[in-house]
Amino acid sequence: MAEINTGGGGGKHDGGKVRSKKASTRVDMTPMVDLGFLLITFFILATTLSKPSSMTLNVPDKTKQEETEPIKASNVMTVFLGKDNKAHYIFGKAANEDPEVKTVGYGYEFRQALMENVKKVGGEKFVVVIKPTKQSTYKNMVDVLDEMAITKLKRYALVDQLTPDEKKLLKDKAKLDT
Q: What are the pLDDT tens digits along the chain (178 aa)?
A: 566 655 555 555 556 677 777 777 788 889 999 999 999 999 888 887 666 777 676 777 777 777 777 778 888 899 999 888 889 999 888 777 878 888 898 888 999 999 998 888 887 888 999 999 888 898 999 899 988 888 888 888 888 888 888 888 888 877 776 6
Q: pLDDT value at position 32? A: 92
Q: pLDDT value at position 5? A: 58
Is residue 176 within 8 A of residue 170, CB to CB? The reply is yes
pTM, two decimals, is: 0.63
Q: pLDDT value at position 83? A: 86
* CA neighbor of 32 nearest in space, from 72, 8, 2, 59: 2
Q: pLDDT value at position 16? A: 62
Euclidean distance between CA atoms 54 and 60, whole angstroms? 19
21 to 1, 12, 16, 102, 110: CA distances (angstroms): 22, 12, 14, 93, 84
